[in-house]
Every structure is written in structure tokens, then in C-alpha cells.
């Protein structure tokens, strides 16, 4: 994993209030970030879109840095905050972002989207993408609910 020039002091301080939750959520989020076999860049796009959908500035800021360290461009970071048709996404990236929007809106993926996903990726890969989105929906809800503030040096929303 690439070393990143940032910290997560505020989220760690908040999680310290409940070590069991910290271990469980941290373990799942860590698996999404470091153990899944799907491309990290695409998982970061999913996380950014979910953070945007959930209006979680902390999540978005941290994953702006993670995403850019794994090949997401500044233009793509900005584009995940806009209607999906406003950017020239690759077919694969667009499909993953549409999946993310469906999960945010409906807590599920439609049959039509599932069919499109499994024409491109294996069921195992689709599962990794879905769990990436849903894990970071949970994380976004946690961060928003407990008012976790941006750490020093972490960007907020794009201009």
C-alpha cells in the first residue's frame, strides 16, 4: 500500500470510545482498502461517490487523497460530485458509479445493473465492489453522526 501524507487522528479518537466497534469496522474497512483483489482505483471512485452521496466531507477528503494516490485524477474527484453524464467516464467506471448510486438510493442493485456488472466482472469481483460501497456508506454514517471533523491537511469538498 502506498504511504499517504495524512492522518486520521479524529476518526481514531472517536473510535477509541468503543474498541469493539473500532475493531469490527476498522477490520472491514481495512479489508476493502488493502485485501480486495479488484482495482483500488475503482474502489476509490466508489468510495468517493458514496461519500458524496452521504454528504460526508471527512470520508470524501480522506479518499480524495487515497484515490489520487491510486490513480484517480483531480478531474475525476470533482466529477464524482456531479451528475454522472457530465463526465466522460469509461464504461466500467460509469457502471460502478451507477451501482453505487443504486445502493445509496435503494440499498440494492437492480437486476438490470447486476446483469451488466456480471458481464464485465465475476460474481466475486462484483461482491467486492458492492461491499466497498456499503462499507463506506456505514463509515460515512458513523462519521456524520459523530461529527468527526477533518484532520489537519485533509482536503474538503472540491471547488
pTM of the model: 0.94
- At which residue does the C-alpha cell 485485501 appear? 35
Mutual orientation of helices 57-69 and 40-53 as an angle, nearest 10°? Answer: 160
- pLDDT grade for 1, boundaries at 50, 70 and 90: very low
What is the predicted pLDDT for the residue at 4?
46
What is the predicted pLDDT for the residue at 8?
83
Q: H-helix or E-strand containing 27?
A: helix 19-34
pLDDT in tens, 39-78: 999 999 999 999 999 999 999 999 999 999 999 999 999 9
**Cβ partners under 8 Å of residue 154, min gap 6:** 6, 7, 58, 61, 62, 65
Residue spans of the domains in the chain: they are 9-145
Determine the Cα–Cα distance for residues 30 and 18; give it in Å rounded to an integer: 17
Q: What is the CATH number of domain 9-145?
A: 1.20.1290.10
The average confidence (pLDDT) of the chain is 94
Amino acid at each position: 500500500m502506498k504511504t499517504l501524507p495524512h492522518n486520521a487522528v479524529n476518526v481514531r479518537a472517536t473510535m477509541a470510545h468503543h474498541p469493539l466497534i473500532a475493531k469490527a469496522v476498522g477490520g472491514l474497512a481495512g479489508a476493502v482498502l488493502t485485501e480486495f483483489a479488484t482495482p483500488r482505483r475503482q474502489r476509490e471512485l466508489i468510495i468517493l461517490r458514496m461519500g458524496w452521496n452521504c454528504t460526508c466531507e471527512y470520508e470524501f477528503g480522506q479518499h480524495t487523497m487515497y484515490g489520487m494516490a491510486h490513480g484517480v485524477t483531480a478531474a475525476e474527484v470533482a466529477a464524482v460530485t456531479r451528475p454522472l453524464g457530465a463526465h466522460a467516464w469509461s464504461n466500467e467506471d460509469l457502471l460502478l458509479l451507477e451501482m453505487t448510486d443504486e445502493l445509496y438510493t435503494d440499498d440494492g442493485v437492480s437486476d438490470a445493473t447486476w446483469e451488466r456488472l456480471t458481464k464485465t466482472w465475476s460474481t466475486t469481483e462484483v461482491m467486492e465492489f458492492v461491499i466497498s460501497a456499503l462499507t463506506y456508506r456505514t463509515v460515512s454514517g458513523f462519521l456524520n453522526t459523530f461529527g468527526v471533523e477533518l484532520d489537519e491537511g485533509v482536503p474538503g469538498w472540491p471547488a
